[in-house]
Structure 1
């Protein structure tokens, strides 16, 4: 079969990525990255306005890429729950509080004049790892602007037709009235506590609560004013072994470990692949601290050695959604060809 060429895109709360995917190599090339036209750039803008901005941005960049690639289809990995027919139900890290469902697949097909597949970004990314993880079930978790998850088992991602499932970032882990507010508007969600944005906010709160301890940390050298503290400084301090920064991270990871423990206890998945800009920037120390929290909790029925093997880091790049979207579209194209031959 001759090579097929697809245009693939991955949009998150911070960055929109778009690239060429060739079925012969299974690799992405011609990768372009640009800031997402969402609430990160326009804080406080109405949801409808942000939706329009994002659709226009996607359509314009995709149209140019499709022409450049001479591609036959577009696959989009989207940071939010997506129905089986390509409707976006929510986008907490892109336009914040829930607005009206957005028929994104139809809107893009009308603008581009070619087939479009829209899936959740983690649903797409799972397909990057499905080939390397073998037949064992696994849960893919991203820790970036927010937190998302998807479980892959027996050749499919566990979702219902309305896109429900794999939204671990919106599990309420802190029910207190003063819990941090999530981008979706709720309080105490895992994403508000343990995501990159959540960890940054936690570091600022810890600095204000314990100014003397903060002054002795590496963070104070980067940001004497805690309100100016960013994730680059937090990541660098954790990697350098700074105690203050490490304890902030450990506090968020305690909640993430509890969520993983609940997934394991309920459905028995033993393998957790961690990706996302924040987690991968921290690197091996992120997996080590998370594993320590899992071992502290104990996973029912597992030995300490079994628990130690549960968590691994994903590939050290941000191409997960792009590669996964290409592989997913390839699988669907092959399935259609098989059906047409019957």
Structure 2
């Protein structure tokens, strides 16, 4: 599998070395020559920062540590520039902690936001909210950790996990703090050089003035309605507007009867256990996602959809069933119900997609560099 220009490894200068991602640089692209070493890999999402070691020989990740991201979820009043500094500092700290202060072999970062061909983080609505200035994250981290650093979009990284097993074009969708997607077709992700594309979470599916507010500052985006955060807000609103229905629900029993006590784990548990109140609220949000998938299918004919992300996987098979049900109800032109059911699957039941994916990406790049 190849990476299109917008998601190729950015040419990040290595102190005393050559660019980490320049296809025309000298052998090994500035990487240390130890063929048996592990990579330090990170996955920076809207709520959680994951750090681990990726072993290319075993194609596995281990020593995984999870901490809350020092972004807007923890510091909602901080301006974008301050949040950007916090996140950069946190990533550098986690790398140093993971390697006990030693210089890592190489670092791969899967990041929740569009990445340009030049390696800039163009936006990170779930991490620091409004757009702010582009952040040269790879360059900043390389200067801090003293090793080559590669930064790619988190779903592009995740694709390296799934591309090995998906034999036809597919759309990878994450339903977590936000919503994102990437379409992989003909061996590459469909993006332009400025990183546009793969952001279904920012499709306006509700144009009304009072529509839900997205983390990016706009209203009515799919991510504001159907993400884990969007579902949580919708369920809390439903509990306030239908107190009797909420009081009679399993969800209420899980939250001591208090709407402010509702959280995503309780929502996932209630849906898995068949709670009608919670399931119907979730169904309303899934309808919007089904509309988006229907548009992708009818416009470019992709017939495989892999759904991952912390919220969707926490709900599990019931989430897939609800999504398929809405796709069948709305219709996928030319497909019957069995075909629709067969085109949607859940991702692996863990949260290591970005870690494994960016590790595989690094291993692939080092393997290619070693043959030059």
1:305 to partner: Cα distance? 1.6
TM-score, scaled to structure 1: 0.96
Does the residue aligned with 2:298 lie in a helix, a strand or coil?
helix
Q: RMSD value over aligned CA atoms? A: 1.4
1:286 to partner: Cα distance? 0.3
Tell me what 1:261 maps to. 294
Whether the aligned pair in 2 keeps the contact of 1:213 and 1:244 (CA below 8 Å) is: yes
Structure 1 segment 1-342 matched on structure 2, within 5 A? 2-66=35-99, 71-134=104-167, 136-223=168-255, 224-338=257-371, 340=372
Whether the aligned pair in 1 keeps the contact of 2:96 and 2:102 (CA below 8 Å) is: no
Does the residue aligned with 1:76 lie in a helix, a strand or coil?
strand
1:72 to partner: Cα distance? 1.9
Q: Please, which runs of 5 or more residues in structure 2 have no aligned partner?
A: 1-33
TM-score, scaled to structure 2: 0.88
Partner Cα separation in structure 1 for residue 310 and residue 340 of structure 2 = 24
Does the residue aligned with 1:315 lie in a helix, a strand or coil?
coil
Aligned residues: 338
Whether the aligned pair in 2 keeps the contact of 1:124 and 1:328 (CA below 8 Å) is: yes
Q: Deviations over 1:220-276 (max 9, x none)?
A: 223322122111111111011010000011000000000000111111111010111
1:66 to partner: Cα distance? 4.1
Worse-superposed segment, 264-273 or 157-166: 157-166
Partner Cα separation in structure 2 for residue 171 and residue 145 of structure 1 = 16
Q: Deviations over 1:167-208 (max 9, x none)?
A: 111111111111100011110101000001000000011111
Q: What stretches of structure 1 move > 6 A for 4+ residues in a row?
A: none
Whether the aligned pair in 1 keeps the contact of 2:103 and 2:147 (CA below 8 Å) is: no
Does the residue aligned with 2:63 lie in a helix, a strand or coil?
strand
Partner Cα separation in structure 2 for residue 84 and residue 67 of structure 1 = 32
Whether the aligned pair in 1 keeps the contact of 2:103 and 2:146 (CA below 8 Å) is: no
Partner Cα separation in structure 1 for residue 338 and residue 213 of structure 2 = 36
Q: Deviations over 1:36-94 (max 9, x none)?
A: 10111111211111111000001121133345786421110001111123210111111
Does the residue aligned with 1:45 lie in a helix, a strand or coil?
coil
Does the residue aligned with 2:125 lie in a helix, a strand or coil?
coil
Partner Cα separation in structure 1 for residue 37 and residue 195 of structure 2 = 28
Partner Cα separation in structure 2 for residue 127 and residue 91 of structure 1 = 21
Partner Cα separation in structure 2 for residue 336 and residue 268 of structure 1 = 35
Whether the aligned pair in 1 keeps the contact of 2:103 and 2:145 (CA below 8 Å) is: no
Q: Please, which runs of 5 or more residues in structure 1 have no aligned partner?
A: none
Does the residue aligned with 1:179 lie in a helix, a strand or coil?
coil
